[in-house]
């Protein structure tokens, strides 16, 4: 009889998947920490991930569409921020309006460890359909929200939508570990690119439909697009490994990592970066309109930012494999802060604002993609999932309070107010990148 620990799917999105072999007489070393699985003679032996094949690539397609409809819609919130501020919630402050979008990020990251444990126990068969239903239902509810009834937007677009996208987003990424090992970075990159593509399609679609058919029907059309994509996702996303059937709730976070200085610095740097990382995505369109950029171009600033993040979702994992994760993560994060201070802050016309949108999208996308990979390099495999969960819960709090804090700078739309918002964004992202870089110094000295 052989006892081995099999890490949950949430843990192995980045790491190597355990290889299942015929049971041996001697006891093999454990590869995870969560649950013990006793393999009896005669139990089914699981083959290693196929790294391809029809079922695997159909799963990639489904995951791409899942992220298109979830994180892609989050990336489009700047359109709602601009529209609400001038129409449906004109009497509400920018800070409060941005809190609606911040709630989406909070639930997306904050529920990740919990959803991951449910996925380990029961797979995606329940999570994906229920999450998809919540996503579509929430968008339909947004379409009938009443003017100046801000609580309706909070409940539908903030809470219900946030819970729904977390139930879709996290299993979609986790299931990649079931099908890919050698080509996992490439497969995850294709999936992650869906969020960038959605961040291009949804803003353009909404801004073209709202003047033509009104806000309500524009959001309903978006909901039908999401329904179509998520239906395909529910059909094509399938796990390959057996389910545990029970949940170890106490293992979804691990505070023991904070005894390690590298991990602590990474957590602090991640908090500062996530605090401000999404501010430009929420406010770039509002800023462009204020600076006198043509209405037509202002509406495309957010899609440009999301389109530029497309290559940084796909390529960083491949580049980092050659040059080191931190050697790509830290420069991209620091450059994002520098771009805010050196290009966005003095920008007063269409050209510099457009250039900033493209460069910031390129740098910020790399941070989101590479952070879990870097945590894997400083964390023992057996506690990887729990420690990633701990940092993501910290990131969820940062994202929740970050954009409303920035909105507090823009009490009245004016250049002085925007300067404060931009400086705040640049300093926080820059500081986060520097502190994560300090973790590299600590790691190097210990080698």
pLDDT interval class at 248 (50, 70, 90): low
CATH of the domain at 286: 1.20.1250.20
From 194, 218, 251, give the residue that closes a domain.
251
Is the same domain home to 168 and 116? yes
Q: What is the spatial distance between Cα 61 and Cα 259, in angstroms, rounded to a whole number? A: 40
pLDDT, residue 36, reads: 42
From 233, 251, 269, give the residue that closes a domain.
251
Range of the domain at 96: 50-251
pLDDT, residue 28, reads: 39
> What digits encode the pLDDT tens for the residues 121-156?
777 888 999 999 999 999 999 999 999 899 999 999
Report the domain count for the chain.
2
Any long-range contacts for 156-161 (C-beta under 8 Å, 24+ apart)? 157/80, 157/100, 157/104, 158/99, 158/100, 158/101, 158/102, 158/103, 158/104, 159/103, 159/107, 160/134, 161/73, 161/104, 161/134, 161/135
Residue 272 lies in a domain: yes
**Residue 242, pLDDT above cutoff 90:** no
Residue 30 lies in a domain: no
pLDDT, residue 382, reads: 62
Secondary-structure breakdown of the chain: helix, strand, coil percentages, each rounded to the nearest 5: 75, 0, 25
pLDDT, residue 178, reads: 76
Residue 428 lies in a domain: yes
**Residue 441, pLDDT above cutoff 90:** no
Q: How many CB atoms lie within 10 A of CB 446?
A: 8
Residue 328 lies in a domain: yes
Q: Taking the model in full, what pTM does it have? A: 0.78
Is the same domain home to 407 and 345? yes
Is the same domain home to 312 and 225? no
- Helix crossing, 77-86 with 295-314: angle to 10°? 160
Phi, psi of 365 (to 5 degrees): -65, -35
pLDDT interval class at 119 (50, 70, 90): confident
Query: Residues 190, 60: contact at Cβ < 8 Å?
Result: yes
Residue 306 lies in a domain: yes
Query: Residues 147, 36: contact at Cβ < 8 Å?
Result: no
> What digits encode the pLDDT tens for the residues 54-104?
888 898 899 999 999 998 999 899 899 889 988 999 888 888 998 999 999
Residue 144 lies in a domain: yes
From 226, 251, 276, give the residue that closes a domain.
251
Is the same domain home to 242 and 374? no
Is the same domain home to 247 and 369? no
In this structure, what token pair is assigned to residue 7? 């890490």
Residue 45 lies in a domain: no
Ranking 13-22, 189-198, 302-311 by mean pLDDT, the lowest is 13-22
Is the same domain home to 184 and 77? yes
Is the same domain home to 379 and 318? yes
Q: What is the spatial distance between Cα 62 and Cα 131, in angstroms, rounded to a whole number? A: 14
Is the same domain home to 180 and 262? no
């Amino acid at each position: 009889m052989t006892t081995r620990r099999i890490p949950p799917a949430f843990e192995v999105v980045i790491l190597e998947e355990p290889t299942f072999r015929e049971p041996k007489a001697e006891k093999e070393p454990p590869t995870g920490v969560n649950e013990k699985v006793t393999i009896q003679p005669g139990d089914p032996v699981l083959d290693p991930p196929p790294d391809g094949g029809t079922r695997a690539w159909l799963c990639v397609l489904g995951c791409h569409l899942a992220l298109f409809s979830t994180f892609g819609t989050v990336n489009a919130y700047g359109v709602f921020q601009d529209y609400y501020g001038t129409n449906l919630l004109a009497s509400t402050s920018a800070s409060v309006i941005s809190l609606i979008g911040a709630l989406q990020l909070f639930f997306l990251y904050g529920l990740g460890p919990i959803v991951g444990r449910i996925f380990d126990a029961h797979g995606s068969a329940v999570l994906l359909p229920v999450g998809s239903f919540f996503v579509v239902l929430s968008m339909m509810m947004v379409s009938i929200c009443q003017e100046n009834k801000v609580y309706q937007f909070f409940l539908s677009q903030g809470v219900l939508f946030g819970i729904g996208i977390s139930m879709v987003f996290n299993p979609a990424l986790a299931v990649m570990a079931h099908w890919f090992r050698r080509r996992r970075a490439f497969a995850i990159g294709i999936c992650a690119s869906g969020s960038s593509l959605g961040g291009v399609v949804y803003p353009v679609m909404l801004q073209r439909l709202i003047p033509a058919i009104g806000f309500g029907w524009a959001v309903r059309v978006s909901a039908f697009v999401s329904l179509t994509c998520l239906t395909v996702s529910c059909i094509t996303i399938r796990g390959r490994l057996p389910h545990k059937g029970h949940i170890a709730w106490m293992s979804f976070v691990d505070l023991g990592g904070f005894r390690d200085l590298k991990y602590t610095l990474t957590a602090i740097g991640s908090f500062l970066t996530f605090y401000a990382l999404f501010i430009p995505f929420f406010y770039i369109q509002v800023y462009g309109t204020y600076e006198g950029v043509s209405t037509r171009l202002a509406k495309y600033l957010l899609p440009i930012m999301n389109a530029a993040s497309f290559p940084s979702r796909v390529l960083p994992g491949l580049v980092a494999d050659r040059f080191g994760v931190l050697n790509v993560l830290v420069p991209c994060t620091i450059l994002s802060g520098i771009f805010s201070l050196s290009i966005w802050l003095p920008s007063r016309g269409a050209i510099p604002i457009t250039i900033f949108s493209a460069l910031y999208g390129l740098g910020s996308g790399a941070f989101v993609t590479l952070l879990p990979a870097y945590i894997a390099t400083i964390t023992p495999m057996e506690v990887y999932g729990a420690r990633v969960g701990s940092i993501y819960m910290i990131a969820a709090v940062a994202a929740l309070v970050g954009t409303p804090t920035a909105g507090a700078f823009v009490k009245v739309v004016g250049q002085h107010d925007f300067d404060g918002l931009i400086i705040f964004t640049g300093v926080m992202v820059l500081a986060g990148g520097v502190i994560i870089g300090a973790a590299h110094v600590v790691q190097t000295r210990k080698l």
